[in-house]
């Protein structure tokens, strides 16, 4: 039941955003009593922090997997992943939780500790990038830039335009 409640909390957030998210909505989605949601989730912020940790872990996985394919194949896979996160609402949900005034929620949305160096190393290897920066610096740069591309997609900038800039960024980085 605990896992069903966590999944319901995420589902409600993706479908309705934070303004449509409530313990009652989670209970309806999970098909259980509100008291059971409170028992397993403890507080609203504890339950949202659990959702934030899940989204953050998924984001890290989604950003590392494409680099298993070298070169442009990996870049195309990464683009598809980024666009899918915007389409499904995962990116908007993560941004919302990252900006939460509740410290435990925003802290839970932070990437896992080893993520940035892993991302930097994976991108360097897949694209044969020069080692001018540390893996963590490279990972931080890449994570920030791809987050910017997602923000543009979220704000309904033409996907064709965003993808063109995406490709120009990578070409500039590989020179």
Residue 132 has a pLDDT of 86
Between CA 37 and CA 6 the distance in angstroms is 9
pLDDT tens digits, residue range 147-157?
999 999 999 99
Domain residue ranges of the chain, discontinuous segments joined by +: 1-42, 56-174
Assign domain 1-42 to a CATH class.
mainly alpha
Tokens of 46: 């504890």
pLDDT tens digits, residue range 72-121?
999 999 999 999 999 999 999 999 999 999 999 999 999 999 999 999 99
Please, are residues 13 and 21 in contact by the beta-carbon 8 Å criterion?
yes
**Element containing residue 64 per DSSP (H, E):** helix 44-64
Report the C-alpha dihedral over residues 129, 166, 139, 62, rounded to 10 degrees. -120
Please, are residues 18 and 73 in contact by the beta-carbon 8 Å criterion?
no
* 5-14, 101-110, 121-130: segment of lowest average pLDDT: 121-130
């Amino acid at each position: 039941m605990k896992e069903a409640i966590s999944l319901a909390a995420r589902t409600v957030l993706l479908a309705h955003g934070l303004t449509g998210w409530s313990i009652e909505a989670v209970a309806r989605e999970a098909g259980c009593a509100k008291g059971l949601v409170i028992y397993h989730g403890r507080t609203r912020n504890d339950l949202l922090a659990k959702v934030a940790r899940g989204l953050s872990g998924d984001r890290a996985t989604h950003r590392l997997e494409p680099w298993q394919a070298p070169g442009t194949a990996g870049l195309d896979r990464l683009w598809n992943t980024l666009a899918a996160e915007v389409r499904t609402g995962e990116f908007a949900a993560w941004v919302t939780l990252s900006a939460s005034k509740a410290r435990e929620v925003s802290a839970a949305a932070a990437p896992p500790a080893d993520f940035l160096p892993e991302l930097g190393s994976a991108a360097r290897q897949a694209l044969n990038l020069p080692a001018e920066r540390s893996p963590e610096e490279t990972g931080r740069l890449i994570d920030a830039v791809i987050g910017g591309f997602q923000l543009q997609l979220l704000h309904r900038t033409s996907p064709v335009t965003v993808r063109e800039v995406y490709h120009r960024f990578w070409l500039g980085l590989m020179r």
